[in-house]
Structure 1
Amino acid sequence: MTQRLLLEGAPPRAGAYAHAVVSDGLVYVSGQGPKDPRTGRLPESFDAQVQQALDNLAFILDGANSAMTEVIKLNAYLADLTNFDSFNAIFEKNFGGTLPARTTIGCQLHGIMFEVDCVAKVRA
């Protein structure tokens, strides 16, 4: 069974997609940017944008009965690759001993400096 999730309290979607899709014991989380769902604002600094996007990811994973510790594969998108070291430090702080497989991509992003998506296990 496939379940498409639109979660109340999650960051607003920027297009026509689900926050996440759960299928066969895995959750596929759509790209999450740094918009604070409570205020609707974007943090100004790169570091704050990364942390907010990871917080948004954690919120959606929780709503899908998963968690950051269950992330298997993560894709990170940086508008400026000179921020890689900063991103990596924040990433490691958030994932600690449960590092997932990861791809980091430098790309053009619309009005933000960072975006993230992932695939995670649903908790049993």
Structure 2
Amino acid sequence: MNILATKNAPGAIGPYSQGYEANGLVFTSGQIPVDPATGDIPAGIAAQAEQSCKNVGAILEAAGVGYDQVVKTTCFLADMGDFAAFNEVYARYFVSKPARSCVAVKDLPKGVLCEVEAIAVKG
């Protein structure tokens, strides 16, 4: 098992890793839309979805896999009213259409509008 870490995604804000690789699978922790270079959070669901997807991609890249190897995502929205706008951005990254769960939650860390996590297969 390998812990994944990259400076191209935000560091963990708690007792967890950015991601893990085990038995040919890559698991990313949920990624909120924090710009890893500045610590800033963009405004609006489209910009936040974009940054969350980029952060997931950075962890996947650290594991040597791409978006096309993702088999499952879980997406969290602060407001299900953002579903269509979120999907528009999400669809540009996860073009292989992995299995997905998308739920609305009461709150997300730092008051963000979305969070995305992924499971990918190596090889």
After TM superposition, is the score higher than 0.5?
yes
| Structure 2 equivalent of residue 30 of structure 1 | 29
Hey, what does 1:18 align to over in structure 2? Answer: 17
Contact 2:7–2:36 (Cα < 8 Å) also in 1: no
Structure 1 range deviating more: 30-39 or 6-15:
6-15
Kindly tell me the number of residue pairs found equivalent between the two proteins: 121
Find the aligned partners of 1:85 and 1:61 in 2 and give their Cα distance. 25
Secondary structure of 1:31 counterpart: coil
Where in structure 2 are the equivalents of 1:61-72 lying within 5 Å? Answer: 61-72=60-71
Cα distance in structure 2, aligned partners of 1:90 and 1:5? 25
Query: Which residue of the partner structure matches residue 117 of structure 1?
Result: 117
Alignment of 1:1-124 (within 5 A): 2-96=1-95, 98-107=96-105, 108-110=107-109, 111-122=111-122, 124=123
- TM-score scaled by structure 1? 0.93
Partners of 2:2 and 2:21 within 8 A in 1:
yes
Structure 2 residues without counterparts, runs of 5 or longer = none
Query: Separation in 1 of the partners of 2:57 and 2:102?
Result: 18
4+ long deviations beyond 3 Å: none
Instruction: Determine the C-alpha separation between the residues in 2 that align with 1:58 and 1:31.
Output: 12
1:91 and 1:3 map into 2 onto residues whose CA distance is 27
RMSD over aligned CA atoms reads 1.0
Query: Helix, strand or coil for the counterpart of 1:4?
Result: strand
Normalising by structure 2, what TM-score? 0.93
Distance (Å, rounded) in 2 between the aligned partners of 1:92 and 1:7: 24
SS of 2:2's equivalent? strand
Letter in 2 for 1:77: F
Deviations 1:7-55, CA, capped at 9 Å, x for gaps: 2332121211111110000001001000000111000111100000000
| Partner secondary structure for residue 22 of structure 1 | strand
In structure 1, what residue type is equivalent to 2:98?
A: P
